[in-house]
């Protein structure tokens, strides 16, 4: 599959064009940011603007589902934060274009550069993503359009230098018409006309340019256009001088960073930036980028290109400002005797020399703002590029870039440029190596060098060496990733060093101030301050405000540093478990607290400081299994089942069933390994819930019986009532309705004996069983009891379920009109949406569809049925699919669409047979007979 965005968006499968339909804006924004995750908020703004609807997340999920039907199976990347698209190095025309342009700029020969430029420019078919008007798409596409124009200008310079002026006139005139305010294009058109023997036309073009700039911008032509004018007038190049060039040689295999380079070049060309500050973690390629940008922008600063290593993060002491000024002035050609001795006079001389020149100065590896303050030329016509591992403030007008890691595609491309064809021959292993290096350019370069120097190695051999411990392998001669990290670590205060060491043992993907405080024993403010210090030193990243992340290679380095971690891990386990408890309703939390009564509360201050427990759970839920594993390794095995118990409620009712399954299976294994019957009973019940959701009823029954056996031996009425109530729900799913009634009544009896409140969910299960048996009056009584018993805060889902059941029974008994039933259901739907309960939302929409059908409002009814099926599918809810499809088919039949009804009944029958649901099989078969 090939994607084209350099013009109208198109997708090519071989020679066949594939349409993306109405989802083009989402596909466009993903392709404009290939191989990375685009946040849901950014996608929503792309489609709907700054005020997306409340249903934006659901609609985006539908959109991605449609795209997946068009694109290859693994093309769409999914992440809790959003979506991305995976594109190989030759799959997306914009990636190919940027690679060709980079090759052209790195080429040592004019012929090779011209060929690469021509190939790159031939990929363009119009403005990027032409025809898609979404502001976010246009903004991102504008960067590609700007890069296109820059490439044209660079290519024109080569063609002019090679004497092809006459052939360029027509193309340049067309470009000037499109971009009338670009002075460089105007100047090149003037030179092309002059070179073609049309000096009068060239001078006329200068007059037109002058008029346009005055009329549109109120400014006079700039230096580059004036220089072209002088050259045409004199017939010879202007401003001959001997420029000073002190930049060190940069790498010839520079790869990636196209978005950053485009931003920097745009700002520099427009004169918006006089200082560019580039920061990034150790090994992120700051110096390489600075030198690359300096090379690309060098022609704007003709007088001198200067460079100094300030040794801000070095085994040597940082360079003092006075010594740095000495170096810079000497590079400008001043004799040592002419350089003042004291700092103020030396700084004044530097400013005076800089004021007479257009300089490009690279201040590499700065330690602090104090070190660089007197080194900035301070004149509008010069540019200073500062690199540092720390985020350094700068004067007004500073353009700051925090350097990201390489994407997987960029890292693989760099690996290939270093190590050659072996990388292309083993694409899967190359991707794995790039990921093991974490996109860190230094790590990728060292890995590539190891491969290049060992011609008999396959990429898979390198991967094997990196898999166990990467850092010892990432070393070539005296260059090591460990050495780069060690210099950053050495610059920390002792408390920050301790937190960094502890993060090596911390199992979470992200860490915030509360987690840091739990690790260190400090107050939340102390944890926040230490994380800020680590972030300033670029030893942690901050992808969201207040949320930090440790690079995997830095985690490996931190974990190898000596220091005790036992108390810190206990602090985190305790805090995170109590934070999970806060995601429950108050009534359910009191119920669970009895199961976890042995767990102390070590840091009430931190638990109280959790602003949004549900949002915190969504952020850390991918790490919960890691937390249970760490608990076992740290000698705290009880947390391996306490954590699943605390997390279950929110995970289950938000339909994160994969998390429920993985977490509770791990907890059950730990409980069995440590011989804790109480924990086995609790975990068996929770494991059964995930099998129930997945439709694996026999497995769910096995685990429920295991738990019931333990509770019977314990004579634990309370625990036995819970398991018996869940057994009733399982019997309903297996369509053993009389068994469900028996289990439900036994649950009520046990709850009464245990002095527990008699209410949902036991009454809800009994109601459903009675409904299936046609015992509507008893079902109605159960739902009314359930509604009475569900009046505590957080019982909204129980109230919603009771309202659904009440209106269904009253409709069956003829006690309520469809319009009145609809009012019940609208209340239930609001509760389900407010709580984010997908199953209750789907069930309510089905019922709304049914009552709308009774009112012969078939279009609205069918819409509700379709939405219910979509919600259930996205939530992975399989238990009720046959029922939902049956009701949908019934509405289709009553609307007169017999063929569609027959097809939907067939689907219901297929699902019912697969799930071994005899009641649903019988209903679907009977209705097929009706059709």
| 498-512 pLDDT per residue, tens | 999 999 999 999 999
Token pair 């569900």: residue: 790
The model's pLDDT over 594-623, given as tens digits with 9 standing for 90+, comes to 889 889 999 999 999 999 999 999 999 999
State the average pLDDT over residues 839-868: 94
Average pLDDT over residues 425-432: 92
Listed residue (621, 565, 573, 568) closest to 599, CA to CA: 573
Of 207-216, 343-352, 574-583, 682-691, the range with the lowest mean pLDDT is: 207-216
Q: What is the mean pLDDT of residues 513-526?
A: 96
> How far is residue 530's CA from residue 535's CA, in Å, rounded to a whole number?
9
Cα distance between residue 374 and residue 351, in whole Å: 9
For 398, the 3-state DSSP assignment is strand
Q: Which two tokens stand for residue 425?
A: 């021959």
Residue 271: the pLDDT is 64
DSSP H stretches of helix in 199-247: 199-217, 223-234
Residue 922: pLDDT band (50, 70, 90) is very high
For position 20, what pLDDT does the model report?
Answer: 66
In this predicted structure, what is the pLDDT of residue 19? Answer: 67
Q: Where are the beta strands (DSSP E) in 428-569?
A: 475-476, 479-480, 510-511, 541-544, 547-549
What is the per-residue pLDDT across 66-87, written as a single tens digit (0 to 9) for each?
A: 888 888 878 898 887 789 998 8
Q: Does residue 269 surpass a pLDDT of 80?
A: no
Look-up: residue for tokens 């739902």? 783
Q: Is the pLDDT reported for residue 695 higher than 50? A: yes
Neighbouring CB atoms inside 10 A of 117's CB total 24
Q: Over the stretch 168-214, which tens digit does the pLDDT of each residue have? A: 888 888 888 878 888 888 888 888 888 888 888 888 989 998 888 88
Instruction: Using DSSP, state whether 771 is helix, strand or coil.
Output: helix
- Packing angle, helices 881-894 and 838-854, rounded to 10: 20
Omega cis (within 30) before 315: no
Buried b (16+ CB within 10 A) or exposed e, 295-317: bbbeebbbbbbbbbbbbbbeeee
Strand pairing class (76-79; 510-511): unpaired
Nearest-angstrom CA–CA distance, 121 and 98: 10
Give the integer Cα–Cα distance in Å for 46 and 134. Answer: 6
The percent of residues in the chain predicted with pLDDT above 70, rounded, is 96
User: Where in 369-425 does DSSP place strands (E)?
Assistant: 383-388, 398-402
**pLDDT for residue 236 is more than 60:** no
Helix (H, G, I), strand (E, B) or coil at 270: coil
The region, left, alpha or beta by phi > 0 then psi within -120 to 50, assigned to residue 896 is left
Best-predicted range by mean pLDDT among 30-39, 352-361, 386-395, 735-744?
A: 735-744
pLDDT(61) > 50: yes
Q: Is the dihedral of CA 249, 254, 257, 259 positive or negative?
A: positive
pLDDT of residue 21: 63
Over residues 842-860, mean pLDDT: 94
Average pLDDT of span 49-55: 83
d(CA 876, CA 883) in angstroms, rounded, equals 15
What lies within 8 Å, CB to CB, of 430 at 6+ separation is: 412, 415, 416, 423, 424, 459
State mean pLDDT over 912-928. 91
Tell me the two tokens of residue 50.
């700054």
Query: What residues contact residue 807 under an 8 Å CB cut-off, 6+ apart?
Result: 816, 820, 821, 824, 825, 847, 851
Give 280-307 pLDDT, tens digit per residue. 888 888 998 899 888 888 778 888 889 9
CA angle (231, 232, 233) in 5-degree steps: 90
pLDDT tens for each residue of 78-118: 887 789 998 888 899 999 998 888 888 766 456 677 888 88
- pLDDT tens digit sequence for 876-904: 777 789 999 999 999 999 999 999 999 99
What's the whole-number mean pLDDT along residues 482-489?
A: 89
Q: Is residue 199 packed enough to be buried (19+ CB in 10 Å), middle (13-18) or exposed (0-12)?
A: middle
**What does the pLDDT read at residue 664?**
95
C-alpha pair distances (Å), 887 with each of 818, 850, 913: 16, 7, 17
Residue pair 216/210 in contact (Cβ under 8 Å)? The answer is no
Q: Are strands 359-364 and 304-309 parallel, antiparallel or unpaired?
A: parallel
- State the distance between the two ends of the chain, measured CA to CA, in whole angstroms: 43
- For the residues 650-667, what does the mean pLDDT come to? 90
Q: Tell me whether residue 157 is exposed, middle or buried, using C-beta atoms within 10 angstroms of its C-beta: 0 to 12, 13 to 18, 19 or more.
A: middle
Residue 302: closest CA among 247, 348, 243: 243
Residue 755: pLDDT band by 50, 70, 90 thresholds? confident
At which residue do the structure tokens 């120097």 appear? 453
Examine the pLDDT at 570 and tell me if it is beyond 80: yes
Q: Cα–Cα distances in Å, from 34 out to 48, 393, 402, 426?
A: 21, 31, 19, 21
**19-23, 183-187, 515-519: least confidently modelled range:** 19-23
Most confident option among 21-25, 369-373, 901-905: 901-905
Mean pLDDT on 142-148: 86
pLDDT at 241 over 50: no
Taking 80 as the threshold, does the pLDDT of residue 234 lie above it? no
DSSP letter assigned to residue 611? S
Q: How confident is the model at residue 698 (pLDDT cuts 50, 70, 90)?
A: very high
Averaged confidence pLDDT in the chain: 88
User: In terms of Cα–Cα distance, which of 599, 619, 752, 739 is closest to 679?
Assistant: 599
């Amino acid at each position: 599959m090939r994607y084209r965005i350099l013009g109208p968006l198109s997708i090519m499968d071989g020679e066949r064009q594939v349409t993306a339909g109405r989802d083009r804006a989402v596909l466009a924004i993903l392709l404009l940011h290939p191989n990375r995750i685009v946040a849901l908020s950014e996608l929503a703004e792309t489609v709907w603007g700054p005020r997306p609807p409340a249903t934006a997340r659901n609609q985006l999920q539908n959109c991605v589902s449609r795209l997946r039907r068009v694109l290859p199976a693994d093309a769409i990347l999914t992440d809790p934060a959003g979506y991305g698209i995976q594109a190989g190095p030759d799959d997306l025309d914009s990636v190919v274009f940027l690679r060709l342009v980079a090759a052209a700029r790195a080429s040592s020969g004019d012929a090779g550069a011209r060929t690469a430029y021509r190939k790159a420019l031939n990929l363009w078919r119009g403005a990027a993503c032409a025809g898609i008007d979404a502001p976010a798409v246009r903004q991102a596409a504008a960067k590609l359009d700007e890069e296109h124009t820059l490439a044209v200008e660079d290519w024109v310079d080569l063609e002019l230098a090679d004497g092809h002026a006459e052939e360029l006139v027509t193309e340049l005139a067309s470009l000037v018409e499109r971009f009338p305010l670009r002075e460089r294009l105007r100047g090149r058109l003037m030179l092309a006309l002059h070179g073609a023997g049309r000096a009068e036309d060239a001078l006329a073009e200068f007059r037109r340019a002058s008029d346009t700039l005055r009329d549109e911008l109120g400014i006079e032509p700039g230096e580059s256009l004036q220089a072209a004018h002088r050259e045409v007038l004199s017939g010879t190049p202007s401003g001959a001088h001997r420029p000073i060039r002190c930049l060190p040689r940069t790498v010839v295999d520079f790869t990636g960073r196209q978005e950053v380079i485009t931003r920097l070049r745009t700002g520099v060309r427009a004169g918006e930036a006089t200082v560019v500050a580039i920061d990034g973690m150790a090994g992120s390629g700051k110096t390489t980028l600075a030198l690359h940008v300096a090379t690309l922008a060098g022609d704007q600063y003709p007088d001198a290109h200067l460079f100094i290593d300030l040794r801000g993060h070095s085994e040597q002491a940082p360079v003092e400002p006075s010594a740095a000024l000495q170096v810079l002035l000497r590079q400008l050609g001043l004799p040592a005797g002419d350089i003042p001795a004291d700092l103020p006079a030396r700084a004044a001389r530097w400013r005076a020399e800089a004021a007479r020149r257009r300089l490009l100065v690279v201040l590499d590896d700065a330690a602090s703002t104090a070190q660089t303050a007197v080194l900035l030329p301070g004149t509008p016509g010069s540019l200073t590029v500062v690199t540092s591992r720390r985020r350094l403030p700068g004067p007004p007008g500073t353009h700051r870039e925090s350097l990201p890691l390489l994407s997987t595609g960029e890292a693989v491309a760099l690996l290939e440029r270093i190590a050659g064809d072996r990388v292309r021959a083993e694409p899967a292993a190359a991707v794995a190596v790039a990921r093991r290096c974490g996109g860190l350019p230094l790590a990728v370069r060292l890995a590539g060098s190891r491969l290049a120097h060992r011609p008999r190695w396959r990429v898979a051999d390198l991967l094997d060496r990196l898999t166990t411990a990467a850092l010892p392998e990432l070393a070539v001669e005296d260059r090591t990733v460990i050495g780069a990290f060690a210099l950053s670590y050495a610059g920390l205060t002792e408390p920050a060093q301790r937190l960094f060491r502890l993060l090596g043992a911390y199992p979470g993907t992200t860490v915030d101030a509360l987690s840091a405080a739990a690790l260190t024993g400090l107050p939340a403010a102390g944890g926040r301050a230490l994380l800020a210090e680590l972030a300033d030193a670029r030893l942690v990243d901050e992808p969201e405000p207040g949320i930090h992340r440790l690079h995997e290679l830095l985690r490996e380095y931190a974990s190898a540093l000596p220091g005790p971690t036992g108390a810190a891990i206990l602090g985190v386990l305790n805090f995170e478990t109590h934070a999970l408890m806060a995601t429950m309703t108050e009534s359910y939390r009191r119920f669970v607290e009895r199961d976890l009564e042995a767990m102390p509360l070590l840091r009430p201050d931190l638990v109280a400081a959790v602003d949004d427990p549900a949002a915190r759970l969504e952020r850390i839920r991918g790490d919960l299994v890691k937390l249970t594993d760490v608990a076992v390794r740290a000698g705290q095995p009880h947390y391996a089942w306490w954590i699943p118990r605390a997390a279950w409620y929110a995970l289950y009712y938000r339909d994160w069933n994969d998390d429920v399954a993985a977490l509770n299976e791990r907890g059950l294994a730990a409980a069995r390994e440590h011989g804790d019957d109480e924990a086995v009973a609790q975990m068996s019940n929770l494991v059964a819930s995930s099998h129930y959701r997945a439709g694996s009823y026999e497995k769910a029954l096995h685990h429920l019986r295991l738990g019931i056996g333990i509770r019977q031996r314990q004579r634990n009425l309370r625990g036995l009532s819970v398991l018996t109530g869940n057994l009733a729900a399982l019997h309903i799913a297996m369509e053993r309705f009389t068994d469900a009634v028996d289990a439900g009544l036994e649950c009520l009896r046990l709850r009464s004996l245990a002095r527990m409140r008699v209410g949902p969910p036991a009454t809800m299960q009994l109601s459903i069983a009675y409904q299936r048996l046609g015992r509507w009056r008893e079902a109605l009584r159960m739902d009314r009891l359930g509604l009475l018993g569900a009046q505590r805060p957080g019982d909204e889902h129980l109230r919603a379920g009771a309202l659904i059941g009440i209106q269904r029974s009253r409709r069956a008994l003829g006690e309520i009109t469809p319009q009145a039933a609809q009012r019940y259901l609208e209340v239930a739907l609001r509760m389900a949406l407010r709580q984010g309960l997908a199953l209750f939302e789907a069930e309510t929409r089905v019922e709304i569809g049914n009552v709308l059908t009774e009112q012969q409002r078939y279009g609205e009814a069918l819409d509700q049925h379709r939405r219910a099926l979509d919600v259930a599918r996205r939530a992975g809810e399989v238990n009720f699919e046959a029922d939902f499809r049956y009701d949908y088919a019934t509405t289709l039949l009553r609307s007169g669409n017999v063929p569609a009804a027959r097809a939907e009944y067939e689907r219901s029958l297929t699902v019912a047979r697969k799930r071994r649901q005899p009641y649903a099989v019988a209903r679907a078969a009977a209705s097929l007979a009706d059709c």
